Structure 1
Amino acid sequence: MTEQTIGSKFRLGVSASPDWRIAVDGCLLQLLPLQPGANVGFVYVTEALSRHMPAIMRRLAEATGLPHLVAAISHSIIGGAREYVDEPAVACMVGAVPADSAMLFDRPNKIPAGGWFGIVHADPHVTALDELLMDMGELSGAYLVGGLVAAREARAQWASGLVEGGVSGILFTQGQPIVTGLSQGCSQVGPVHTVTSADNNMVLELDGMPAYAALQDAFDVKTLRDLRRAGGGMMVALPVGGSDRPDYLVRNIMGVDPQAGALAVGALMEEGDQLFFCRRDSESAGRDMDRMLADLRRRCGDATPRGGIYFSCMARSQDQFVQNPGELDRIQAAFPGLPLIGMYCGGEIAAARMYGYTGVLSLFL
């Protein structure tokens, strides 16, 4: 495979139809004949066609002959600058990567040690998924990005064959350069606190004061009624160390107990942990998206990305980027003509950690 072949842009095919055969053939009309050296393909299928996933993938595999095909079902998928929601659609992106630089895996223990970059699809119902992802990254040395499949019923994946109820994806060696960025969807409210008393996911005290009182101070609310009126955008964030920029994991506030002064959050907490309050905010989400894209442009240098995969939280599309420019418009403005594919998720993966309300963009150079 020549350097010129490797440098060619990925090719994108997107088609919407209630008949899976028409949808697949519509994609193939845009993909065939494949560019020389094409050997990888990424496929996303909306939930409306989920029961046809095996037939869709067999048809794509037979028509393209690609040795590395991965796929996932999602309620909403991305094809170019458009999101496909609640309609039967198939999106497929194919491209060329250096020979022997890609490897499929259909279960967590199939990842060998090495400096891999992994694109991962995961079923959110996998037991202790956050710990499993961290173990996968630590044991293999892989940098994992991806998303949790968001679907009402079937959450099928594909990696050489059908994968149900697990974790699967594709790994790349350093022979295929990939740059990736993470965009947060929340803004910090108040200072960072230290947990001084906790019980499982119940935060009892922050900095020696009742956790509920700290919440009231942060959001300037006096009563439980005021708290309810303030809306559902209140979250907690857990700072992540070892990053080259401020990083944090957003978790939901599951409930409050004013009498006990406690908060229930979507994570196990221990004494000595740190957290801060944050709010899901459209303006700050847009600013951080632009920051991420500018940083990716800088890191790409003189190279033009050949293709991109984007995993975004469903809440960002529904709540934070409902006005123009949307997420996909911003990506296309930063990287004009970029072949882009992906899905909206029930949780996003970056650096083998589970995030929420974020966007994760990976670019093939």
Structure 2
Amino acid sequence: MKWVGSLSTRVSLEAAVQEVTQQVLSGLEGRSPDLGILFVSNTFTSEYPRLLPLVAEKINIKHLVGCSGGGIVGDGQELEQLPALSLLVASLPNVEIETFHIVEEELPDLDSPPDTWQALIGADPREQPSFVILGDPFSFPITDFLRGLDFAYPSAVKVGGLGSSGGLGANALFCSDRNGNYKLHRQGLVGVALQGDITIDAVVAQGCRPIGQTLQVSDCDRNIILALDDKSPLEVLQDVVSELSPSDRDLAQHSLFIGVVMNEFKLMPEQGDFLIRNIIGVDPKTGAIAVGDRMRPGQRIQLHLRDAKASEEDLEEALTRYHNQVGANPPSAAVMFSCLGRGERLYGKPNFDSALFGKYMGNIPVGGFFCSGEIGPVGGTTFLHGYTSAFGMFRVRK
């Protein structure tokens, strides 16, 4: 397995393609490029139709996926709203690669059996595939797709992100078809399934820290929490916030979230054991709280705060834990999917997540982009996140 990453900041699309393809061909040292993952800045919006023909002129990558984004990641840099082109390629002997493009009309019903979803994707669940998924947020029901994919491939890791070039029809999705031809799509979802001598590990940092104690949902209606520990949710929230430091109380005015405990059998959940969801409204008359996800009675939750410090600590803890887990079999490369709300606007300095990643993972090839929604697992289930950095780590399967 050989991975090579490249990044160009040339303002000319021709020059950018020339630069990234030269870099990866040189790094492959004569090996065949079996997989390419391509990300392009939305500063090239008008030139999306020209990109794939230019790439095809310079390099023959057997399987290709990619998309456009409001910021591009590569070579240790995070280029936000600047011209950039990132290409991550790999020579993958003994790896079977299946790319796919799906539009909403092709999705099976959620009650369909697993083999219906497997036929759509084309990957054999017995081969333990891993997935990279790139979608358009305006034209595709990504949450339904993730539910179906988890149903069909329950043990598979899925990571990815949603394009962030702009509004309806503004995003570009790239995917090679089964004849090896590169196609530009304006809607739906593209992805790649990898099976054989490769695995993808997911590292998901949601950027929050827990406050207060865990609470139990006593009563709820869909996404409305009506009682917590048999008390008014608003009163419980106010009690927790009143015990915070003055700075955290100020932060809670605009950066307070709900964390849902994902492992119901874990008595003392820790940072990383929660699925973070927005508080989208409070009814002062009834004390009910509306949450950005469906709730159910008996679930445990904990309030969370998000800021730059919490985001840094959460990512550092996640990378430390992963670094200790993989030990002598570290990743060969990675893809990074980071929220548009992170980056320099959160940390006040550039390349923050990439630099922290490099501190723990070393100088491995990385490609990625800033998303309008990040895809990654929490507690064994795949979710669409916000304000998150989700990494897919490519390793040789042992």
| TM-score, with length taken from structure 1 | 0.88
1:1-365 pair list within 5 angstroms: 6=1, 8=2, 10-33=3-26, 34-35=28-29, 36-107=31-102, 109=117, 110-111=120-121, 112-114=123-125, 115-126=128-139, 128-141=141-154, 142-153=156-167, 154-160=170-176, 161-220=183-242, 230-241=252-263, 246-323=272-349, 326-351=352-377, 352-365=382-395
What amino acid does structure 2 have at the position aligned with 1:116? P
CA contact (8 A) 1:119 1:146 kept: yes
Q: Quick one: distance in 2 between partners of 1:229 and 1:146? A: 29
Provide closer, same or farther for how the CA distance between residues 55 and 325 of structure 1 changes in structure 2, counting only shifts above 3 A: closer
Provide closer, same or farther for how the CA distance between residues 127 and 197 of structure 1 changes in structure 2, counting only shifts above 3 A: farther
Identity %: 25
What amino acid does structure 2 have at the position aligned with 1:156? A
Deviating above 6 A after TM superposition, structure 1's stretches of 4 or more consecutive aligned residues are: 226-229, 242-245
What amino acid does structure 1 have at the position aligned with 2:13? W
Give the secondary structure class of the aligned counterpart of 1:284. helix
CA contact (8 A) 1:179 1:362 kept: yes
> What stretches of structure 2 of length at least 5 have no aligned partner?
108-116, 177-182
CA contact (8 A) 1:182 1:359 kept: yes
What amino acid does structure 2 have at the position aligned with 1:290? E
CA contact (8 A) 1:249 1:354 kept: no
Provide closer, same or farther for how the CA distance between residues 55 and 330 of structure 1 changes in structure 2, counting only shifts above 3 A: same
Q: Quick one: distance in 1 between partners of 2:144 and 2:297? A: 19
CA contact (8 A) 1:41 1:69 kept: yes
Q: Quick one: distance in 2 between partners of 1:295 and 1:227? A: 30
CA contact (8 A) 1:98 1:176 kept: no
CA contact (8 A) 1:77 1:85 kept: yes
Deviation of residue 123 (structure 1)?
2.0
Partner of 2:113: none
> What stretches of structure 1 of length at least 5 have no aligned partner?
1-5
Q: What's the C-alpha RMSD, in Å, of the aligned pairs? A: 2.6
Instruction: Give the number of aligned pairs.
Output: 355
| TM-score, with length taken from structure 2 | 0.81
